[in-house]
Amino acid sequence: NAGVMQNPRHLVRRRGQEARLRCSPMKGHSHVYWYRQLPEEGLKFMVYLQKENIIDESGMPKERFSAEFPKEGPSILRIQQVVRGDSAAYFCASSELQSSVSGYTFGSGTRLTVV
Amino acid sequence: DQQVKQNSPSLSVQEGRISILNCDYTNSMFDYFLWYKKYPAEGPTFLISISSIKDKNEDGRFTVFLNKSAKHLSLHIVPSQPGDSAVYFCAASARGAQKLVFGQGTRLTINP
């Protein structure tokens, strides 16, 4: 198991297009978290999911952003009608247990550039 | 509202000396604190953590100190090595919360 896998590593989208970011958690991990890092800032929590359930989406922008973690397959972060301000690094983390911030493992991130 | 603050964007230290990275927080509900190290184009890597019931935790060259009354924590690296050059993030979580609140990061450069 190579750890948390995110793809693509780099994604370029024109304004108005859709961006789909994928995250495969570590084997045995059923909890997935998405964070966004804007340039020169720290990571900011977006959403926490378990299989087929959104547990906490308090950090998600109200419009254009959605996330899912289906029973089979990776977690997907979807950004519709992207704007320049969506350009950022998006990191996914996974953990085995609930209440396990100490058990987070981060992926290498997807760098989204909106042109 | 920046609940976790790292006021030094960068720090430069001579190889072999001690590196001290600082972090302040405002939310008294935070009870668990972590330090992450991040290289360019990679995700954050967990370094060391501390629970609010402790005031110190040590792991090899890395020691984290927590001062709850001052709402301040620090990471000490001694001796500093060139491979320690990276961005260091302080993060905090509240009891029962599934999410981390990160500081802005401090870029540490170790000079040979």
For residue A54, the surrounding DSSP H or E stretch is strand A53-56
Residue B21 has what pLDDT? Answer: 98
Residue A91, token pair as written in the block: 């990191």
With contact defined as beta carbons under 8 Å apart, do B53 and B66 qualify? no
Residue B97 has what pLDDT? Answer: 81
pLDDT tens-digit profile of A81-114?
999 999 999 999 998 876 556 678 999 999 999 9
Residue B96 has what pLDDT? Answer: 76
Residue B3 has what pLDDT? Answer: 94
Residue A28 has what pLDDT? Answer: 85
pLDDT tens-digit profile of B35-53?
999 999 899 999 999 999 9
Residue B38 has what pLDDT? Answer: 95
Residue B67 has what pLDDT? Answer: 97
Inter-chain touch A43–B44, beta carbons under 8 Å: yes
Give the pLDDT band (50/70/90) at residue A37. very high
- What is the mean predicted confidence (pLDDT) over B61-86? 97
> Which residues of chain A does B44 touch, with a Cβ-Cβ cutoff of 8 Å?
43, 91, 106
Inter-chain touch B45–A102, beta carbons under 8 Å: no
- Give me the DSSP letters along A37-99: E-TTS-EEEEEEEETTEEEE-TTS-SSSEEEE--SSS-EEEEE-S--GGG-EEEEEEEESSTT
Window A:2-31, CB contacts with B under 8 Å: 4, 31
pLDDT tens-digit profile of A50-78?
988 999 999 999 999 999 999 889 999 99
Inter-chain touch A104–B100, beta carbons under 8 Å: yes
Chain A residue nearest residue B88, CA to CA: A42
The residue with greater pLDDT, A87 or A2, is A87
Residue B62, token pair as written in the block: 């890395």
* Closest CA–CA distance from residue A14 to any residue of chain B (Å): 22
Residue A24 has what pLDDT? Answer: 97
- The average confidence (pLDDT) of chain A is 92
Neighbouring-strand partners of residue A95: A31
Q: Best residue in B100, B104, B107 to probe A by mutation, most A CBs within 10 Å? A: B100
Residue A99 has what pLDDT? Answer: 54
Indicate the DSSP class of residue A63.
S
